[in-house]
Amino acid sequence: EFADNADKTKGRSMVIVGAGMNHWYHMDMNYRGLINMLIMCGCIGQSGGGWAHYVGQEKLRPQTGWQPLAFGLDWQRPPRHMNSTSFFYAHSGQWRYEKLGVDEILSPLADKSKFGGSLIDYNVRAERMGWLPSAPQLNRNPLGIAAEAEQAGMEVADYVAQSMKDGSLAFASEDPEAPQNHPRSMFIWRSNLLGSSGKGHEYMLKYLLGTKSGLQGKDLGHEGGAKPKEVKWHDEAPEGKLDLLVTLDFRMSTTCLYSDIVLPTATWYEKNDLNTSDMHPFIHPLTAATDPAWEARSDWEIYKGIAKAFSKATEGHLGVEKDVVTLPLLHDAPAELGQPFDVKDWKRGECDLIPGKTAPNFITVERDYPNTYARFTSLGPLMDKLGNGGKGINWNTEKEVKFLGDLNYKHIDGANAGRPKIESAIDAAEVILTLAPETNGQVAVKAWAALSEFTGLDHTHLAKNKEEEKIRFRDIVAQPRKIISSPTWSGLEDEHVSYNAGYTNVHELIPWRTLTGRQQFYQDHEWMRAFGESLLVYRPPINTKTVSHMINQRSNGNAEKALNWITPHQKWGIHSTYSDNLLMLTLSRGGPIVWLSEDDAKELAIEDNDWIELFNANGAIAARAVVSQRVMPGMVMMYHAQERIVNIPGSEITGTRGGIHNSVTRVCPKPTHMIGGYAQYSYGFNYYGTVGSNRDEFVVVRKMHNVDWLDGEGNDTVQEAVK
């Protein structure tokens, strides 16, 4: 029927999907099933056809205007980026408990001698071959490496390459538990890491924070499992790696409760900001109807204050320093074709270490620490010198920089003399609006012209009618404005065509950003072939091995059963926001709830509203049961994200407060998500990399025997670090 409709309507069959499929381990194969069907039916890029992937407020439309501001690209390049899944997998000790063997997901046709080891081994190989970023990057302070290279009379990249080959320098990921190789401080902003998004919650509590956790499993050392080959093993892993955890939030979230310092920030109605979504094509303002309450400040003012204090604190300690940054082989850059044939690992002697080709590039970036505040509050000279761009195309921005100098005024003295001011949040918003092709018609025309140089076709007609349109902050305060079509997106924002991914590829004959320039069914990378994913095949859920050794081992007298763990988005909050609102709590039973089927509830002698416990090797949850005929037997659901701050008793199996939905999950990375240097299989910020899945997980469910609210002495210090 789908194909027949596409045939009769010239491709107007559409798939609308949310992020649920992305929560399975083999999520990419799930998506390729949809993509293949759409390609075969000729639906991609057709109005009314293709696919619409909706994940909520997660489309940063003026991205190329935001990036220079967010990453300081106006003052120094390249920035340090990191994919958070690999970061937390390594530094919260989750890799120490990895039970999924590579042989379980490898193709039977693969060369086992080349594809051994553990999952973290593949992440380490990916980092040293330049496929993925790393953080921390090297096992020595990068501020001293440039000086060492100068003393040796060598270029920095050559010196680092030689040091890597002789073993005097290494990637931090090869020994993530060494004192010099793990993170010491962390700032969390616009995230509730410990109360919502962080998979492997209990591992983070134990290894990053060093506080009480509900972790039940034993690591590979205690269980006698096969240890990684590329990563140094420590029998006792350090706990409490972080010396400082700072959180910016407008509510006392779970993350705030565990933080050393909480900086109260403004809410939507207390600050000036920008807002875009994938649900509509408009750009919205957030405007301050009132000042932030008490000591709260807007995000911009908080970071401006930190920059000012930091600049003063560096005096006598840090000056103008040369920092060495490792840069992976980026998508939409020449380096994405750096490794065109089969995989060659320099550390295995299969090739030479060539920075930017067989390994990351090693680039010197000059940091002027005492002038951090001066740079934070001004638009830097690299926008004049190098311009701006995105997705592999660049354009000149001298005219926009001059305009911003006139609009925001310029600094008259100091290290930023003559540079446009970015003093206030509105100044920052104007920078984004002026630099982004989506909100500045002249920039849009320049961006399309830059793309035309690659294709040999004139694409500027897509923005010519909006060339004189310049959206200012006061414009969107008066009325939200529809954005302008930009070549950094594959769909159009047009009065006659609704946004449709791939539209410009089909109708403007713009090649896809793939190895072939076309839509591809077949993926020929060596790792894709080795893991049996050259073509679309069915991949069953993985066995996480977290329940078999837990069931019926520590009985409380009630029946136990293993059920598939599902965490859909909830109706009583937006992620964790509003989940502790009294109205929402009243509508949702006033605390943590878990849904299970009538059949499973009957088997376990659980009645609606009973207190139940759910646990596996990763942790435990205590919640009330919602028994429903709408839940399929064999699965159990906990809506994401219910925090551990309201009406949560202790867990019988752990003896600590019951956890959140991510207390029973753990990151399990997939090697094919680590591929780089191969056209579309190349790293890009917020584009490609490892993903934390959770839908393959199982938990043991049982009715609670004793409900202990842990009101005794000492239970109010759970968030304090264990000394």
Q: Which helix (H) or strand (E) holds 246?
A: strand 244-249
Parallel, antiparallel, or unpaired for β 320-327 and 361-368? antiparallel
pLDDT interval class at 192 (50, 70, 90): very high
In contact, 74 and 186? CB cutoff 8 Å = no
| Separation of first and last alpha carbons in the chain | 64
d(CA 152, CA 341): 34
Give the full edge-to-edge strand order of the sheet including 481-482.
273-275, 282-286, 481-482
pLDDT over threshold 90, residue 461:
yes
Nearest CA to 257 out of 649, 716, 582, 641 is that of: 716
Tens of pLDDT, residue by residue over 55-108, are: 766 789 999 999 999 999 999 999 999 999 999 999 999 999 999 999 999 999
User: Between 569 and 704, whose confidence is greater?
Assistant: 704
Q: What token pair was written down for 195? A: 């109360």
Buried b (16+ CB within 10 A) or exposed e, 643-680: bbbebbbbbbbbebbbbbbbbbbbbbbbbbbbbbbbbb
Query: Rounded mean pLDDT of the chain?
Result: 95
In contact, 521 and 71? CB cutoff 8 Å = no
Q: Write down the residue that tokens 């044939």 correspond to.
A: 341
Tens of pLDDT, residue by residue over 368-378, are: 999 999 999 99
Rg (CA), the chain: 26
DSSP conformational letter for 325: E
In contact, 85 and 689? CB cutoff 8 Å = yes
Tens of pLDDT, residue by residue over 124-164, are: 999 999 999 999 999 999 999 999 999 999 999 999 999 99
d(CA 248, CA 254): 12
CATH architecture classification, 560-665+680-710: Beta Barrel (2.40)
Model pLDDT, residue 486: 97
Please enumerate, as own/partner, the contacts of 80-84 that have beta carbons within 8 Å and a separation of 24 or more. 80/133, 80/135, 80/137, 80/325, 81/133, 81/685, 82/133, 82/134, 82/135, 83/132, 83/133, 83/683, 83/689, 83/690
In contact, 436 and 70? CB cutoff 8 Å = no
Q: Which CATH superfamily is domain 2-55 in?
A: Dimethylsulfoxide Reductase, domain 2 (3.40.228.10)
Side chain identity, residue 137: Q
In contact, 55 and 31? CB cutoff 8 Å = no
Measured from the Cβ of residue 562, the count of other Cβ atoms closer than 10 Å reads 17
d(CA 58, CA 178): 36
Neighbouring residues of 170: CB distance < 8 A, sequence distance ≥ 6? 138, 139, 164
pLDDT over threshold 90, residue 576:
no
d(CA 647, CA 593): 10
pLDDT interval class at 578 (50, 70, 90): confident
Buried b (16+ CB within 10 A) or exposed e, 306-327: bbeeebeebeeebeebbbbbbb
pLDDT interval class at 570 (50, 70, 90): confident
User: Between 588 and 449, whose confidence is greater?
Assistant: 449
d(CA 673, CA 22): 13
CATH architecture classification, 65-364: 3-Layer(aba) Sandwich (3.40)
- Helix/strand/coil for 276: coil
Domain boundaries defined on the chain: 2-55, 65-364, 560-665+680-710
Neighbouring residues of 31: CB distance < 8 A, sequence distance ≥ 6? 21, 22
Side chain identity, residue 89: Y
d(CA 53, CA 228): 37
